[in-house]
Structure formats: structure tokens, C-alpha cells
Amino acid sequence: MYTKDKMNRITLRLNEHQFAFVKNNSEVLGISPSEFLRMVVNATMSASQKVTVNAKEVFGRENDEGNSHDKL
């Protein structure tokens, strides 16, 4: 198994329902439970970044636009 870019280790306890979900999905995809969980983490990271970018586009920062009182 290639582990050179995987320097951090985590121990995770799951209940039966959670474990069955991970096990079944990893089997369907033909990957290890660890790789499935990495996929879930990566997908969540990507979705979180998209939400952050979209929020910045919608709301912006307070000082991005001046208001008419700023102009003299």
C-alpha cells in the first residue's frame, strides 16, 4: 500500500450502523474502508470550499464596496 503522502493516523470508533455503511460502500466500490473514508473526507472538503467561495461571492466582505457616505 502506498502511504508516503499519508503521514497522519486517526483511530475512529463507529456504531454498527455506521460501520455497516462504510463496509458496504467500500465493498461496492471495491476499495478499502480507509480509502472510502478518505473519499468522503475529500468530497466534504471540496463541498466546503465551494460553499465558502460562493458565500464570499454572495456576501463579500464588508469593505469590498464603499458606500455613498464614504465619498466626499
* Tens of pLDDT, residues 12-69: 999 999 999 999 999 999 999 999 999 999 999 988 887 766 666 666 556 666 555 6
**CA 23 to CA 19: how far, in whole Å?**
6
What is this structure's pTM? 0.65
Confidence (pLDDT) at 6: 87
**CA 26 to CA 5: how far, in whole Å?**
21
Confidence (pLDDT) at 19: 98
**CA 19 to CA 36: how far, in whole Å?**
12
**CA 68 to CA 47: how far, in whole Å?**
36
Q: Which three cell numbers stand for residue 53?
A: 467561495
